Structure 1
Amino acid sequence: MSYKIVFFDIDGTLVNEEKEIPADTVAAIRELKERGVEPVIATGRAPYFIKPLAERLGIESFVCLNGGYVVYKGEPLYKHTIEKNALEKLVALAARHGHGLVFEGEHTFCADREEHPFITESVLSLKVELPAYNPDFWRTADIFQVFLHCESKDEPLYEALKTDFTLIRWHPYAMDVLPAGGSKARGIAAMLEKLGYTASDAVAFGDGLNDKEMLAYVGFGVAMGNSNPELLPYADFVTTHVDEQGIRNGLIEAGLLPVYSA
């Protein structure tokens, strides 16, 4: 199978625990482009979090906010926002339990608390700046995703909201809150349709719980060696660790790079 496009998660896939891109990953992406195969970022991160990384890798297209915001070569082509009435329910319930929220819009993100230890710890783990304080941001801006800050023991408190949202844990203190049915796969499907490709034309790499749908959807799904164990059943291949040429070895297995690539 000759694949035409490859989607890459960021955290734990393109970057390691220190949020650094391994040198061999940079080289592998460059070689992939030289062979005429397009690399695309597919991440839970917002577009304003990924610009330096995308520039370093020479990647112009991305599926951001867990499939809610899709850009191809600088042009937005798909947006999936959260309904205001659903947000109102989330805001009320989180306030009742003292759980901080961070609202992610198209151009910036804002928190509903000026200071919250869970917000500080989870957001800084991404090596990005802390959000501005604006508890009413969700009322006036299009919101694509929310960080809900609570521990896993508190997740049952939000069970009633699962008809409105998809909730995915990404940090001990934080979950992604997406529109119901939202996923990276949904955003990828929008891009493939625009390009005239099918899912079988695509490869995807990931390591986290928000990568399940993406790896299952594409023609060849690659889980990193450092993946959450729950992701592995969704992959066609498990490559090596992000710091052990995981990207290169996955691309070799997909037939997109030669075994002895320089």
Structure 2
Amino acid sequence: MRIGRIDGRLKLISGELALDVEAASDGRFSADPDQVFPLWPEFTAWAGRQSPGEGEPFTAAQVGPPLLWPAQVFGIGLNYRAHSEEAGVAKPPTSPAVFTKFASSITGPYDTVTLPSDKVDWEVELVAVIGERAYQVSEKDAWRHVAGLTVGQDLSERAVQLTGPVPQFSLGKSYPGFSPIGPVLVTPDEFSDPDDLALGCAVDGETLQDGRTKDLIFSVPELVARLSAVLPLLPGDLIFTGTPSGVGMARDPQRYLKPGTTLVSTIEGIGELRNPLVGP
């Protein structure tokens, strides 16, 4: 199943067609995509009986983020070995490096992003969305708590992020527009292997990152288990699972995003973000 926000409304997606959920369910489910996650088991049971192909055509200009106001947004740092190495970390972490991103940074898959400085870096990421409350769940049971997967960018203003004496990860990664997600949410059963997906990003046709999620140090199920060992994960929560190697800060010379370009972020089986970049 694929769901998305089309003209601000929850839709079931099939190719280029979108079925309005509120209308098709006779008001059983809200038009607001954020409201479906607390009802996820009930919603998926209903959605499995529908025919999304009966929907209406839509265009990219109508598509927004799959959800806008999650209760919690987690970010995971240094979760690919090659990225850990390029960051100068001698040994891969033995536990996830967790930070938060603020929900006001979420934007759509095709929205324009304003760069607040000349130190903004790219980080394409697989984003897991929680569907059922998870607290102290095991790794083997974790996937059933995941509503689906989407594409994300963990944009990072490196000067703010690394201002000391203690790094400010959450602030540096939470400017408006710094968390594009979309274009759809895809349930795990849609993938032959949800733990091995190609992902990458490019600027104006130049590839900047190219990796596979099988190279995650901590997989989606392990992240759900480790996070939920400490606190409840709530329906609609986002987990930005980490980025592969190729970020701008690790290059020699360092390189950052520039106004007037377009950042394209892609994950196999989900789709792409295409965010034009402008100056302040």
Question: Could you say which TM-score interval applies, normalised by the shorter chain?
Answer: under 0.3
Q: Which has the higher strand share?
A: 2
Q: Which has the higher helix share?
A: 1
TM-score when scaled to structure 2?
0.22
Relative contact order, higher structure (CA 8 A, sep 6+)? 2
